[in-house]
Structure 1
Amino acid sequence: MVLNNVMIPGNDAVLGISISEGKIKQLAPALADDREQLTLVDAIAFPGLINSHDHLDFNLFPQFGNQTYESYTEWGKHIHREYAGEIASVLKIPIALRERWGVYKNLLCGVTTVINHGEKAVINDPLITIFDNCQSIHSVQFEKNWKKRLNNPLKINSPAVIHTGEGTNNAAHAEIDELIKWNLLKRKLIGIHGVAMDPVQAKHFKALVWCPESNYFLLNKTAAIDQLKTKTTILFGTDSTLTGHWDLWHHIRLARKTQMLTDAELYNSLTSLPAKTWKLNTGSIADGFDADIVVAKANRKAGLQAFYEVTPDDILLVMHKGEILLFDESLYHQLTGIISQNYSKVFTGNRFKYVQGDIHGLISEIKRYKPDAGFPIPYPAQPAA
């Protein structure tokens, strides 16, 4: 397949992207090819986004919390006391259904790789990449055997991914020192949140996953990323809908407003840097990389400015390893005869999209367990105008 007439952030030229056997084969100003052609108008193409922190099975929760907390421990105790019934009503939904919805939440936003924090995902055909080649440890406070797990010699070659410093009090800062102190095997640490982290502590981490919307919702503060970025690699994550909006682009624009990362740094925290950190063959649109590609309306903008104005409505196509998982209704006639999978038609706000798989059947199944479960797409499906 060839994606013709797209702009790539960082390259003002209009290019064609040739894709074969799940890989990007060639980029050129004009590609003549005897394979399927998809011609775009006023469009940008960028690597499938990498969400470096989510809990896929927690994305059927609404945001829980009605005050500013000092730490995740205070928040955790509060929600289990105040929202016990609502928590139980979500947890009775089978985990495979909850995880599958978590995948769709990400896919609708152009995410093609998720680093899922927690137990290994139970779904076998997740559409996008669910990365699990690491060791998930919840936190110093909430995981009883964290020291033993951290110092397991059988895991020494895997990065240890852990919530740390998620608070504004002294205990949150001290927790990071305790984690560093007990990393006896000098494992590669990838911290999550790090709101209480300072640059001296940051040097001990291979990377820090920044989840600004979650931080502001719980703590009314986020990590000093402008300082920490000089000492460690900054990746981007959303966390789940327990503490953030379902729409990744909402998170991205909030992060941009802080101006703690440049536009290029923020873009890289969603693409090339996590690909390098997690050792993925994606994160760039270049020859030989996996064809994880998002195409979106440019809305007569160019480069990163076009990227930062994207919404789920603007997404025209999401491709994962060369397979089209989502496309806009405007591309339907070009794709007739090219696509062979089953797709569901969904309404994302102002546009109809076709999404691979039976998303309506999934929602129906979830509602058997929780009739009042909420979704960002209309259900039953909104009829075409």
Structure 2
Amino acid sequence: MMPDPEGKQQKQVVVHGGICALGPQARVQASIQITDGYITGILSEPPLSPNDRSSCTAIDLSGFLIMPGLINAHDHLEFALFPRLADPPYRNYIEWGTDIHNKFPDIIAKHRAVPKDLRVWWGGIRNLLCGVTTVSHHNPLRAEMQREDFPVRVIQEYGWGHSLALGGDLIAARSATPEGRAFLVHACEGVDEVARVELLGFDRLGLLDDHTVLVHGLAIDHDGVALMRERNASLIVCPSSNNFLFEKLPDMSVLGAIDNVALGNDSPLTAEGDLLDEIRFAIRLCGISSLDAYRMVTENPALILRLENGEGAIRVSGIADLIAFRDTGCDAAHRLQALSMVDVEFVMLGGRVQLASEAVLERLPLSEKHGLEPVWIDGTIRWLRTPVKELLQKTEEALGKGELRLSGKQIRIPA
């Protein structure tokens, strides 16, 4: 620890030994110096001297590739424990919402019996496990999401409406958006005329501008893309949700012409899995290159969502949000093609270790191990800086013993 000019102790951390992804294709062996949660240096990799070791917290990630934490541009955190619910195909999101309440009321009631504050925590854990460090939550901000010990960083300043059909007074919602922040709204989610004409509806209301972020956009055609570009609006696509509900994939040969496009995971109600599952799905089925996929979960959402602390990159003065997985010699973009939750062995949020595999746990200094709790997820054990034992006990009181699933994966406390 070193004192700052006001005499306060600053936490010094050095992450060393690993290969740093300074971009989708840039690899360099370097030490990352961190002071009070921000990166203060990216240095060529010299061995740490005894003096260095004694003056800071040293974390050895030799053999690992270190990436910036991922940004999930669209999620509904309170639905993290729900299973996929639908009897597809549908023509639009209105049909889907009506249908699941008619056909699956018992399942919905069972999961709503879990208090929302618990469900929100599991939403944070679901993102943490797959290397997400920043989440855009599409619903009102809750007190849990503002806590310093929440598993991931939830964007705090934004505006939102549900949709043109179900969003109430969208003009008032847009007016309530903090100055200079993104306004998020579901749009064109479907395959019929109802979905297609929504874009013009937003434009007629004066809601399509450079702060507008439309989510899904499945029915946007060439004319819609031209309008989006003219208004400088942004788009977040959620391919696996669209495919599940409407049996149609976003046409990225059309939508890719929009200047700013990011990838969102959506909730387990409709998504295939977590954000890494979504990335693999998008690369495999939507013709999205690994290079574009990398940017759609790092620099693009950072720009679209007006993030200001260097999220989505490893750079000096940026927030120290880092993830790591075994180095195979490939660049970060190429590695995304096959990554899944089991590959994520280290997550750091603002300079603090939030997740560690058992192998990484053995490397951590005692100060970084303190507060980590083990959780078993479909045969994989991870140590998380969350009260997983308490959360599981309270959740099972409502759902039943052994009934908790996170993106379809069984969760329990290891023996």
Tell me the TM-score normalized by structure 1.
Answer: 0.93
Equivalent residue number for residue 351 of structure 2: 322
CA distance in 2, matches of 1:168, 1:55: 22
What residue number does 1:175 align with? 198
Question: CA offsets, 1:181-236, max 9 Å, x none?
Answer: 11269572100000001212322353101111111111111322232232330011
Which residue number corresponds to residue 277 of structure 2? 250
Tell me how far apart the structure 2 counterparts of residues 262 and 166 of structure 1 sit (CA, whole Å).
23
For residues 71-90 of structure 1, the aligned pairs below 5 Å read 71-90=92-111
- 1:5-24 aligned at under 5 Å gives the runs 5-7=17-19, 8=21, 9-24=24-39
Given that residues 139 and 160 in structure 2 are in contact (C-alpha distance below 8 angstroms), is that contact kept between their aligned partners in structure 1?
yes
Partner of 2:395: 366
Over aligned residue pairs, what C-alpha RMSD do you find? Answer: 2.1
Using the alignment, how far apart are the partners of 2:177 and 2:333 within structure 1? 42
Mean alpha-carbon deviation: is it higher for 316-325 or for 354-363?
354-363
> Is the aligned partner of 1:57 residue 2:84?
no
- Could you tell me whether the CA contact under 8 Å between 2:238 and 2:264 is conserved in 1? yes
Q: Secondary structure at the match of 2:110?
A: helix
Deviations 1:285-340 (A, max 9, x none): 01110000001112454442223322211112100110110011112232132316
1:92 aligns with 2:107: no
Aligned AA (1:169): D
- The 1:94/1:68 distance shift into structure 2, 3 A limit, reads same
1:192-207 mapped onto 2 (5 Å cutoff): 192-198=215-221, 199-203=225-229, 204-207=231-234
Of residues 272, 279, 288, the one that matches 2:317 is: 288
Say if 1:334 and 1:185 are closer, same or farther in 2 by CA, change over 3 A.
Answer: closer
Q: CA deviation at 1:154?
A: 6.8
Q: What secondary structure, in the 3-state scheme, does the structure 2 residue paired with 1:162 have?
A: strand
Alpha-carbon distance between aligned partners in 2 of 1:185 and 1:258, rounded to the nearest angstrom: 29
8 A contact 2:209–2:232 mirrored in 1: no
Q: Given residue 201 of structure 1, which amino acid in structure 2 is its aligned partner?
A: L
Q: 2-side partners of 1:223 and 1:270: how far apart?
A: 17
- Contact 2:157–2:181 (CA under 8 A) maintained in structure 1: yes
**Distance in 1 separating the partners of 2:337 and 2:375:** 24
Whole-angstrom CA distance in 2 between matches of 1:14 and 1:143: 49
Distance 2:197 2:410 in 1: 45
Q: Does the Cα contact within 8 Å between 2:213 and 2:304 map onto a contact in 1?
A: no
% of aligned pairs identical? 25
Distance 1:93 1:205, change over 3 A: farther
- My pick for the range that moved more, 11-20 or 310-319, is 11-20
1:36 aligns with 2:65: no
| Structure-2 separation of matches of 1:289 and 1:382 | 36
The one of 139, 153, 161 equivalent to 2:184 is 161
Structure 1 residue 146: Cα displacement: 2.5
2:27 alignment partner AA: D
2:40 is aligned with what amino acid? K
Task: Give the letter aligned to residue 182 of structure 2.
Answer: P
Q: Which moved more, 1:103-112 or 1:342-351?
A: 342-351
Structure 1 unmatched runs, 5+: none
Cα distance in 1, alignment partners of residues 280 and 336 from structure 2? 10
- CA distance in structure 2 between the partners assigned to 1:57 and 1:112 by the alignment: 17
Pairwise CA distance, 1:367: 1.2
Check the 8 A contact 1:346/1:378 in 2, yes or no. no
In the alignment, is residue 235 of structure 1 matched against residue 262 of structure 2? yes
Q: Secondary structure at the match of 2:154?
A: strand
Note the 1:255-294 alignment, pairs <5 A. Answer: 255-280=282-307, 281=309, 282-294=311-323
Matches within 5 A, 1:295-334: 295-334=324-363
Q: Which amino acid aligns with 2:366?
A: G
Residue 378 of structure 1 deviates from its aligned partner by 4.9
3-state DSSP of counterpart to 2:71: strand
1:137 to 147, 154, 161: 161
**Structure 1 counterpart of 2:384:** 355
| Local SS of the residue matching 1:13 | strand
| Amino acid of the structure 2 residue aligned with 1:381 | I
Q: Do the aligned partners of residues 89 and 289 (structure 1) sit closer, same or farther apart at CA in structure 2, a change above 3 Å counting?
A: same
| Matched-pair contact (CA < 8 Å) for 1:312–1:348 | no
Residues 78, 123 of structure 2: 8 Å contact kept: yes
Q: Which amino acid aligns with 1:16?
A: S
SS of corresponding position for 2:134: strand
Q: Is the 8 A contact 2:137 2:154 kept in 1?
A: yes
Matched to 1:200, the amino acid is A
**Contact in 1 for aligned 2:58/2:365 (Cα 8 Å):** no
Q: Could you list the runs of 5+ residues in structure 2 that have no partner in the other structure?
A: 1-12
TM superposition shift of 1:155: 5.2
Query: TM-score if structure 2 supplies the norm length?
Result: 0.86
Matches of 2:336 and 2:25, distance apart in 1: 11
Instruction: Check 1:148–1:338 CA distance in 2 against 1; reply closer, same or farther (3 A cut).
Output: closer
2:139 aligns to what? 118
